């Protein structure tokens, strides 16, 4: 188990920051999600006193803009979190396990985007639209759920609250940016090689991703599922606080840069009509219903590049089950699926 | 209703062809499926006496190779089927409705790849691995099922026969070649525009397909489903001769050239283990089990370019239902999903 002390929100005052603005660190600042975190902090006008950008030695020295200022990326090392109030981590599971406890020890509250602490009982797993109250149970670390989980639970929560959910069957269509910057580059490179008639080489994925679909995200587990699929099962249960919720997931990678899509079949506990489902989704925060087939309006990954909402459409009665509903859920995996959700947690934290 | 007379296999003899080889026509010969039909006839060494390639005026004059010979495409007009034994149609639903009855009247047996006759009670809907006996009930026309239906029923039939199937929930990842040659060109063009930093234009699809996913295949029906999704429901029931089978489908287009993928959740009537499912699928004709996650082996659309089997993998117990099974099914949509299945029907016909 991870060995980090119990911290709490009082640290903000102890650290001597201006009470209405905070010292923020982004760990893994040069990655796809890290860069998005910096953007989201700026776009949402998060009250930042000082922004510290951290990465490995390899990326140190990189310059990143924040509110017209250029900030040089520093190496993550002991002592660096001493003046930090909130550290947004997007450094991968291994580094998070090592560095997050250090950051907590040095007085920061960590919001971690990796898989390292999500299922740890002492760590809240938070989607602010769903369980913001859990944030204040933290002992120094708050976990940001997996991208494909976040968008699904945001879309399903209003239905869950209204009629209950018995079972979820989900198939994903996930963008390469979920893997990181290298995967974005790999898809671009492969597409260029294809156009030039060259041999297509793969290094990030085990197979060509351009013009292909890989039913394989993260490592394979003993039960035949991938870790990505099991995250969708276990994290959904934890976030909805429903350990017996039935979830079956198939996760696939598609040659898309940004925006995860999900085909979701949900079996509710009581009957809900399509109209009623649309009505409650329309009212919910963080959701935009895009569902006018007659005008060819439905959620698309390209749409999610400029929209921070979880887009929900193709809502229709399941022809195979009287309590079934099908829907198509799309969100920007780097933003609502990662950076935005993390910053939203930070916003709740300082409220 | 379509008005064509009852024909039967006897016409082969009446038409005076050499009894062991047949006059074949391919209608829509210049299309993506039409060209594949010509290839499959050659590759499988179908006993062709004379091959007639037919298309619209616009494509007439095109030259296509068949067994080292160059055949000029002719205009489809009255009288053209008089010496034809079997006409393979891949001309779209509208042209099929008009021309197929004419071909039958002129003495040909039509194997039609369009949606025109599939649900017609007088027309057998055939996948040779599943219901070859239906072929001989034809009254002049035999329908080739929809590509996404074919690969799913081939993969599910052994399970259906062994333990019964209660319910199917499928989400598809379909290649652009299913739309035809123009869509293949559109994806190529869009990818080039992307690489050159140009604006990306769409004409075949309502939205950009490169680096995007469209949850929209064929037209939308009143119930919110697309026609493609309803084909998967209705055709599966007809092919398996099980009008009450529960099927729920979501069909999506992905930026892949060739090979449809499907994430299929099936609820059986009796329990079947993963090992037993693999065993019976391995024995079945037309199926290749590609399922060794430890060696990163699972079906991929790129694999299906060189493989005429329906590829089945990622077979695992559904964690949300004790009688559930998840699997990932891939096949070449132009071959097993269209041209190959049509030629296999013709092979049965002349047996």
Query: What residue ranges do the domains of chain B occupy?
Result: 11-117, 149-333
Residue B163 sits at φ, ψ, to 5 deg, of -125, 0
Residue A14: its pLDDT value, please? 36
Taking residues B9-21, what's their average pLDDT? 52
The gap from C-alpha A185 to its chain's centroid, in whole angstroms, comes to 21
- Is the pLDDT at B266 greater than 70? The verdict is yes
- Strand intervals (E) in chain A: 22-27, 48-55, 63-66, 69-72, 74-75, 86-89, 109-112, 141-143, 165-173, 246-250, 260-268, 287-289, 310-317, 324-331
What is the crossing angle of helices A32-43 and A340-350, to 10°? 50
pLDDT confidence of residue A18: 53
In the predicted structure, residue A23 carries a pLDDT above the cut 50: yes
Percent of chain A with pLDDT over 90: 94
Q: What is the mean pLDDT of chain B?
A: 94
Residues in chain A: 351
Record: contact A319-B263, CB cut-off 8 A = no
Distance from CA of A272 to the nearest CA of B (A): 16
- Distance of alpha carbon B298 from alpha carbon A278, whole angstroms: 37
Question: Helix, strand, or coil here: B163?
Answer: helix
Cβ pair B314:A214 closer than 8 A: no
Of B138, B147, B216, B321, which residue is the catalytic one? B147
Name the nearest CA neighbour of A53 among A34, A39, A40, A36: A34
A53 and A27 Cβ atoms separated by less than 8 Å:
no
Three-state DSSP class for A78? Answer: coil
Residue B18: which pLDDT band, with cuts at 50, 70 and 90? low
Residue B2 has pLDDT above 60, yes or no: no
Query: Does the annotation mark B147 as catalytic?
Result: yes
Percent of chain B with pLDDT over 70: 95
The alpha helices in B202-339, defined as continuous H runs, are 227-239, 274-283
Question: What is the pLDDT, as a whole number, of residue A19?
Answer: 62
Exactly one of A138, A216, A260, A321 is catalytic; name it. A260
The structure tokens 């490179």 sit at: A189
**B339 near B258, Cβ under 8 Å?**
no
**Residue B226 DSSP symbol:** B
Q: Name the H helices within chain B.
A: 11-14, 32-43, 93-105, 147-163, 181-195, 227-239, 274-283, 340-350
pLDDT for res A322: 97
B positions 192-231 inside 8 Å of A (CB): 192, 194-195, 206-208, 211-216, 220, 223-225
pLDDT band at A115 (very low <50, low <70, confident <90, very high): very high
Residue A295 phi/psi, 5-degree rounding, is: -105, 15
d(CA A223, CA A220): 8
Confidence of residue B19 (pLDDT cuts 50, 70, 90): low
pLDDT digits (tens, 9 = 90+) for B73-131: 999 999 999 999 999 999 999 999 999 999 999 999 999 999 999 999 999 999 999 99
Give the mean model confidence (pLDDT) for residues A281-299. 97
Q: State the pLDDT at residue A258.
A: 98
- A334 beta partners: none
Is residue B206 classed exposed, middle or buried when 0-12, 13-18 and 19+ CB atoms within 10 A define those classes? middle
Sign, CA torsion A245/A246/A251/A256:
negative
Binding residues of B for phosphate: 118
- What is the helix (H) or strand (E) element at residue B331, kind and residue range? strand B324-331
CA distance A65 to B246: 55
What is the tens place of the pLDDT at every residue in B30-67? 999 999 999 999 999 999 999 999 999 999 999 999 99
Q: Do B213 and A318 touch (CB under 8 A)?
A: no
Nearest to B196 by CA among A257, A182, A195: A195
Report the pLDDT value the prediction gives residue B11, as an integer from 0 to 100: 41
Task: Read off the pLDDT of each residue in A43-65 and give the average, rounded to a whole number.
Answer: 97
Burial class (CB in 10 A: 0-12, 13-18, 19+), B291: buried
Taking each helix axis as running N to C, give the angle between helix A181-195 and helix B181-195, from 0 to 180 degrees, rounded to the nearest 10.
120
Scan residues 252-291 of A and list those with Cβ closer than 8 Å to B: 252, 254-257, 261, 263, 265, 274
Residue A311 token pair? 């887009």
Would you tell me how many other CB atoms lie within 10 Å of the CB of residue A296?
A: 12
The CATH architecture one would assign to domain B149-333 is: 2-Layer Sandwich (3.30)
Q: Is the pLDDT of residue B284 over 70?
A: yes
Calpha distance A157→A309 (Å, rounded): 14
Any catalytic annotation for residue A321? no
CATH of domain B11-117: 3.40.50.720
**A171 inside 8 A of chain B by CB:** yes
| CA–CA distance, A141 with A124 (Å, rounded to integer) | 8
* Residues of chain A found within 8 Å of residue B304, distances taken between Cβ atoms: none
Q: Do domains A11-117 and A149-333 have the same CATH topology?
A: no
Task: Tell me the C-alpha distance between A170 and A326, whole Å.
Answer: 10
Contacts of A330 (CB under 8 A, 6+ apart): A151, A259, A260, A261, A262, A299, A300, A301, A303, A304, A310, A311, A313
Q: Pick the residue with more confidence: B278 or B8?
A: B278
Nearest-angstrom CA–CA distance, B3 and A344: 64
Determine the distance in angstroms separating the CA of A177 from the nearest CA of chain B, rounded to an integer: 12
C-alpha span between A169 and B320 (Å, rounded): 8
Q: Is the dihedral of CA A209, B285, B295, B250 positive or negative?
A: positive
Residues 6+ apart with CB under 8 A from A74: A52, A53, A54, A55, A60, A80
Task: Using CB atoms, pick whichever of B169, B263, B320 lies closest to residue A320.
Answer: B169
Over residues B275-303, the mean pLDDT reads 98
Instruction: With cut-offs at 50, 70 and 90, classify the pLDDT of residue A145.
Output: very high
% of chain A at pLDDT higher than 70:
95
pLDDT for residue A2 is more than 70: no
DSSP 3-state assignment of B225? coil
Q: What does the pLDDT read at residue A177?
A: 97
């Amino acid at each position: 188990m991870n060995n980090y002390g119990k911290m709490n929100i009082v640290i903000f005052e102890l650290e001597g920051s201006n009470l209405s603005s905070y010292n923020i660190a982004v760990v893994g600042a040069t990655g796809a999600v890290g860069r998005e975190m910096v953007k989201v902090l700026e776009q949402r006008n998060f009250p930042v006193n000082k922004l510290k950008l951290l990465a490995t030695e390899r990326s140190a020295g990189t310059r990143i803009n924040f509110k017209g200022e250029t900030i040089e990326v520093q190496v993550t090392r002991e002592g660096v979190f001493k003046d930090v109030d909130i550290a947004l981590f997007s450094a991968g599971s291994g580094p998070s396990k090592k560095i997050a406890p250090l950051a907590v020890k040095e007085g920061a509250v960590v919001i971690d985007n990796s898989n390292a602490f999500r299922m740890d009982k002492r760590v809240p797993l938070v989607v602010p639209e769903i369980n913001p109250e859990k944030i204040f149970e933290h002992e120094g670390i708050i976990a940001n759920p997996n991208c494909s989980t976040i968008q699904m639970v945001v879309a399903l929560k209003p239905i869950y609250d209204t009629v209950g959910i018995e079972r979820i069957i989900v198939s994903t269509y996930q963008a390469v940016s979920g893997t990181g910057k290298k995967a974005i580059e790999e898809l671009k490179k492969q597409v260029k090689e294809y156009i030039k008639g060259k041999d297509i080489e793969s290094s990030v994925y085990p197979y060509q991703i351009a013009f292909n679909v890989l039913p394989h995200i993260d490592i394979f587990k003993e039960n035949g599922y991938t870790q990505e699929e099991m995250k969708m099962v276990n994290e959904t249960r934890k976030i909805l606080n429903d350990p017996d919720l039935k979830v079956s997931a198939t996760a696939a990678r598609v040659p898309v840069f940004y925006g995860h899509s999900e085909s979701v079949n949900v079996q509710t506990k009581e009957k809900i009509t399509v109209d009623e489902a649309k009505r409650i989704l329309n009212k919910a925060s963080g959701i935009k219903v895009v569902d006018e087939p007659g005008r060819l309006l439905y959620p698309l990954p390209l749409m999610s590049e400029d929209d921070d909402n979880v887009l929900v459409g193709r809502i229709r009665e399941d022809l195979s089950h009287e309590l079934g509903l099908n829907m198509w859920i799309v969100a920007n995996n780097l933003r609502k699926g990662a950076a935005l959700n993390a910053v939203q947690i930070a916003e709740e934290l300082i409220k």
